[in-house]
Amino acid sequence: MLRRILLALVFAQFVLLVTLAVVLGGYVLATAVGDTLGPMVLWWIAMACLMLVVMDVLLLAGVLGIAAIVRIEPEKQDSSDSA
């Protein structure tokens, strides 16, 4: 279960970073052309992507922490049973 969540979060991280790069590239291009509405819309889309990247990193860190705790708990129980 945790492995699937980790896989989804890592894949989402890659997709979000590529999306952020493409949208920021579009923002720069629209700004260079002199458009007025396009850069503003692309800027807010880029900020939404950036927020999603940050959320994904926080979720990834949380899931990795939970996975580490789940992996450590059985080892502690096994060593206490044998003592």
Close Cβ partners of 20 (under 8 Å, ≥ 6 residues apart): 46, 49, 50, 53
Number of structural domains, the chain?
A: 1
pLDDT at 59 over 60: yes
pLDDT for the residue numbered 83: 54
Which region, left, alpha or beta, applies to residue 35 given φ > 0 means left and ψ of -120 to 50 means alpha?
beta
pLDDT at 20 over 60: yes
The whole domain housing 21 covers 2-82
Average pLDDT, the chain: 90
The stretch 2-17 carries a mean pLDDT of: 93
The stretch 36-54 carries a mean pLDDT of: 96
Q: Are 46 and 17 in contact (CB under 8 A)?
A: no
Q: How far apart are CA 29 and CA 21, in angstroms?
A: 12
Q: Token digits for 33?
A: 């052309």
